[in-house]
Each structure stands twice: as structure tokens, then as C-alpha cells.
Chains A and B, each alone.
Chain A
Amino acid sequence: MTELSSNTSASLASNVGEKRGYWSRVGRDGRKLGKWFVAPTVALLIFIVIFPLLMQLYLSFTWWTPLDGVPWYQAYESFNWGENYLILAYDPAFWAALWRTAMIMLVAVPAQFFLGLGLAYLFIDKFPGRKVFYSIVLTPMMVVPAVVGLMFFLLFQGTGPVNDSLGLPASFSWLTDPNRALISVIIADTWQWTPLMFLILLAGMLGVPSDQLLAARLLGGSNWQNFYKIILPRMKSVIAIAIVLRLVECFKIFDLIFIMTSGGPGVATETISLFLYKKTFADLDWAYVGAVGLAVLIVLSLIAAFGLSRVAKNKG
């Protein structure tokens, strides 16, 4: 159905020119209907963005915790002139968590990228069994992240199969040793998300016009040259999409680590999300969490705005 419609649109598009994309003339009742259509989304956005952000900003300037016995709107009673932000700047636990998150991102995302790229290259042409292999390779991505956490929790037990098949003693622990716990988490994340990289990169690779590849091959380019000089430069934007997507998701990582190690041993695998979780539920330091959350939010928004402006510039 979709294929058919896109064919017709291709043949007709030339007649309409620029107006394609939205109605060339939207009447008054059309605009009215459109307003009704966006209303639920706008309402949800206001409900979940504007009001909560204001509340968070407000709370972050107080000492308020849910244990105060004071409703949140009376939090001004413990107004503290932004001391939370000062604490944040000198909170070693926060910076350590940020650093750990960055480390996971810097190791896991490149690993996923190169593995995904290699895998995608295997799938670039037709071969018997392609569909089956394709489906199997994609599976990890579909598994619930919490279940992935459980699977690797089981695998990395001292008495688990990894030690067993590597011939290591049960005392060789993965999840209770600070360094190895971090490695285990990275392995689990890589297992789950390499397929996403693979999927996106393969889409990019197949988008490289095949006549260019054929020409390069006829001119005697080796496989490696073709890959490096023809395919890679033509999938730059796809690579950017894949990496940005993974970086963002990796920064948010929670489920997997929470189930595998709960941030432990000690704080060895405590990323930003786990740090916030601990502050929220162990310390009940809600105002401080609000401040940290807002700081993270602002920095991320600045990065996103910068990235978007770069993209816009490239297009223009």
C-alpha cells in the first residue's frame, strides 16, 4: 500500500512543486480541525513540561523533602538562595557519576559502532540465509532492557556460566569487583545495542548508490578501498544519526545497571541516573535532585541546540 502511494506521489509531485507537504490552501474549517488535532499533544506537553519545569525550578531553590510534612507549594519556607547549586558544583559524588557515565559512553558507543559497522558490511549483498541471520542479529535490541540486565546478571555470577566456561573459579567475581563490574555493564549494553547500530548503518550502506560502487569496482578498486573511499564518506549523516542516538540513550542508561549491580559495588557503576535515583530514594533529597536534574537539563539542551544549529548550517 505504502509503496504504491509513494510511486503515485513521485509521478504527480512534479506538477505541484513546492506545495507538496501540506495543503496548498487550508480553509478556515481546516485550520480549526488542525487546532483540534494538535490540542491533545499540546495539552500533554504543557502538562508534562512547562508546569513540572517551573515546579522543579522552584523546589531546587529550597531544602524541601517529602519528609518535611509540608506540601510542596509551601517549600518556600526553607528557601535557600540556590545553595543546592553550590553544593552540586562541589559534590564529588556527582562529578564522579558524570565521569563514569562519560566513560561508559566513550567505551560502549564506539564498540557498538565498529561491531555494528562490521556486521552491516556482512549484510551488504544478497546471500542465502540473509533474512534469517538478519532477524537473529536484531533480536537483542528487542529484549526488554531490564531482562537484559537479568540475563547478564545470571551470566556474570561467580558461579555462573561465564566463569564456568572460561575455567575461572567461583571466587572470580565480575559484578562485585569495581573494574570488572563496569566492564560487565559495558558488555551487556554492547550486546543489546550493537544491533541498533547495525540496523541504522546497514540502512545507510544500502543507500549508497550502487552504480557508484559498480563503477569503482570496474575501475579496479579493492573491497577495502571501496568501503573506505566510496561507502563511508557517503554515509556520514547516517553515522552521525546512529552515534548521536546511542550517545543520548547511553547517557540515560539506568535499567540495565540497576538490575545488574544497582550501581555497586560501592559506587563503581553509579552513573548519573543511578546517582539521581539514590539521592531520590535513599537520601530523599528531592530539592537537590531537582537542582541536579535542572543542571543536566540545561547542559543537554545547550548541547542539543548547538548540534541542531550545526545541522541547520550544514543543510543551508
Chain B
Amino acid sequence: MVALLRPDEGSIVKTHKTRSVTIKRSFRSLAVKYALLLLACAVVMYPLFWMITMAFKPFDEWTTGSGLTWLPQNATLGNFEYLFYGQTEGLVVTLDRTIGGPLWASLVTSTCGTIIAVVAGTLSSYAVVRFNILPSLALSVLQLRLFPPLAVMIPVMVMWAFIGGVDTWWGLSLIYGIVTLPFAFWLMKTFFDEVPIEIEEAARVAGSSYWRVFYRITLPIVKPGLATCVLFVFILNWSDYLLALLLTQKEWVTLPVYMNTLNTALGEMYGMKAALGFIAAIPPIFLGLLIQKHLVRGLTFGALKQ
């Protein structure tokens, strides 16, 4: 876990640490470098900052009506209040669905989807790496990621309707587990690849069963990797929009889908949407920082390691 929390070592392909050769740079080139970096940070922060401040702005500061300002002039928690309690001062319209349901739905389905993906992915990648069973599984799993989900969603929707999985927590969790399985599989495969087989063979010689070796020796060794994998897959599930849009209707609508339905007779509810976006954006950013070190590995299906 400690290794997990330590962000980027700047190293790659395992052997290289951040370049030890420091290049002598003139003051001018250093200044240019920092200027460019600050510019990049400004570009990164601009949209985020606008959304976050928007979340704290009262109704009349949402648009150019009274002149746009970067910081809210009369900062308010009204937008959040409206989301959580369905009403707030100055708004006649009440919200019939508050954020509670979607927040819960997002949490439950992302968590269950993560469990499915990580359990199936961990077990099968171990079997492929160690027992050499179905080596072709690796590529067929990867192919799942190639296609636009909408191109294959018709039968899935028919099937989900048939098994009664539409708008249920388990229906959405199941599809989440399946679409993030490739990530879990490949991420865990890279971690298992790194475990020295000699340790396991020594345990075998000492008389442990295969299951015991896996459970007692290998799994504890890859624990940091497993934690990374869990967080990574959770981020992916949490970030989904399309699947929830297709497979939920009301009860189990997730945060992003709920966000886009937030319109009332008053028109676009910028402030509330921004507040909601803010809430939805926090967990992945936070978790992403925790697993920064392994992001490359996860996102490239283990083709690159850091």
C-alpha cells in the first residue's frame, strides 16, 4: 500500500529511474519550461475551475446576465442543497428526484461491477500465466474493448430485458463487470508476470496445494497490484455513462445519467449540474492520484510499465 501511495517515480520499463543525467540548462530555457508548464496547468484548470465555481454560484450569476465573474460573488450552497433536499431558496420548482438515489446507484453498481471484473480477471489471468490454460483468452478478452458498445448493444438490451436485468442493480453491475474485465485481466496479468515463479515452486516442493500456493503465497505478493487493479476498475465503472443510459430507466439511474436529465421548466440548471459534476468528478480524481504510478500499465493493458 505504501508503494501504491507513492506517486510517479518517473521510471519506466522497470529498470530506468528518472534520468540521472541532469542537463545543464540556461536560465532562459528553464524560464521557458516553467512558462509552458504553467500554461499547461492553466489550460487544464480552466474548465475545471469554471465548473467548480459554477457549483457555488446562485442562479443570477450563471450566465452573462449580470456579468460573468470567475469567483462567485454571493457564494451559496443552494445548488447542493437543491440536489440533496429537492428544494432551495429562490426556486419555485422542487426536484422530484434528489441525488441520493443516483449516488447510491453509482456506488453500488460500480462496486459490484468491480468485484465481478476483478475476481474473474484475477483468477483467469493467474490460470493463463501459471497453468498456461487457454492462452488465447488474453487476446479474446482484449477484443471486447475494440468495439463501440453501441454496435453490440441491441442483443444485450434484448437479453437484459429477457432476464429482467434492465433497471436493476445487478443488471448494470453485470455489464460493468464484463466491460471492465479486460482491464482487470491484463493489469493482473502484468502483476502475476512479475511474481518469481521460484517462490511458488518452492512452496509446491514444500507440499502446498496449488490453491494454497495461489491463496497464501501469490495473492499476498500481488496485494498492492490487486489494490491498484480494484481502484482502476472502479474508476472505469464510475466513469461510465453509455451503459447506464441504455440499461437503466429510473430506479438505478447513475450520477452521470441523472446529471443530464436535470432540466426543469426554468431551462438548463447550470448550477445544479455543475454541483453534480463536481460530486461525480471527485472520486475518480482522488483515486487516480493514488494509483498514478500504475496508470500507464492499466491504460495500455500492460503493454507499458512504469
Contacts and interface: CB of A to CB of B under 8 A. Distances in A.
Contacts of A213: 19, 21
Interface string A239-251: 0010001001001
Given A151-B51, A252-B148, A144 B281 contact: yes
A267 to B, nearest CB: 16
A36 B303 CA distance: 27
B20 A210 contact: yes
Interface stretch (B32-40, B71-79, B81-89, B94-102): B32-40
Contacts of B43: 191
B265 interface: no
Interface in B195-241: 195-201, 204, 209-211, 214, 221-225, 235, 238-239, 241
A254 B242 contact: yes
B174 to A, nearest CB: 9
B130 A2 contact: no
A292 to B, nearest CB: 7
Nearest to B279: A147
A157 B51 CA distance: 13
A106 to B, nearest CB: 17
A18 B194 CA distance: 15
A34 B305 CA distance: 26
A115 to B, nearest CB: 9
B143 A151 contact: no
A276 B156 contact: no
Contact of B260 (A35, A134, A146, A251): A146
Contact of A276 (B18, B150, B210): B150
Contact of A29 (B10, B36, B41, B210): B210
A146 B256 contact: yes
A65 to B, nearest CB: 10
Given A150-B274, A191-B43, A259-B260, A143 B65 contact: no
B177 to A, nearest CB: 7
B93 interface: no
A24 interface: yes
A217 B209 CA distance: 55
Contact of B130 (A34, A41, A137, A238): A34
Helix, strand, loop or mixed for chain B's interface? helix
Size category of the binding interface on chain B? 35 or more
Contacts of A255: 241-242, 256
Nearest to B296: A203
Contacts of B250: none
Interface string B267-295: 00010011001001100110111001001
Given A41-B141, A126-B19, A203-B296, A2 B191 contact: yes
Given A41-B181, A138-B295, A241 B304 contact: yes
B259 to A, nearest CB: 7
Interface in A1-46: 1-3, 5-6, 8-9, 12-13, 16, 19-24, 26-27, 29-31, 33-38, 40-42, 44-45
B224 A40 contact: no
A139 B134 contact: no
B50 A146 contact: no
Interface string B139-172: 1110111111111111110110010000000000
Contact of B270 (A138, A154, A304): A154
A290 B154 contact: yes
Contacts of A13: 196
B300 A21 contact: no
Given A33-B210, A157-B63, A164-B64, A125 B23 contact: yes
B274 A154 contact: yes
A49 B179 CA distance: 11
Interchain residue pairs A-B with the least CB separation, the first 4: A34-B131, A293-B151, A9-B196, A142-B288
Given A22-B130, A294-B151, 14 more contacts: A2-B224, A8-B196, A19-B197, A51-B155, A123-B10, A126-B19, A143-B285, A146-B241, A154-B50, A203-B304, A273-B148, A290-B154, A293-B153, A297-B147
30 contacts: A5-B196, A22-B197, A24-B197, A29-B209, A34-B131, A37-B126, A41-B185, A48-B156, A53-B152, A56-B152, A119-B40, A137-B44, A139-B44, A141-B288, A144-B284, A154-B50, A154-B270, A159-B68, A200-B300, A207-B13, A209-B16, A210-B20, A238-B304, A252-B148, A272-B151, A273-B150, A280-B154, A293-B153, A293-B154, A301-B146
Interface of B: 3, 7-8, 10-14, 16, 18-23, 30, 33, 36-37, 40-41, 43-48, 50-51, 54, 63-65, 68, 70, 116, 119-121, 123-124, 126-134, 137, 139-141, 143-156, 158-159, 162, 175, 177-178, 181, 185, 191, 193-201, 204, 209-211, 214, 221-225, 235, 238-239, 241-242, 245, 256-257, 259-260, 270, 273-274, 277, 280-281, 284-285, 287-289, 292, 295-296, 299-300, 303-306
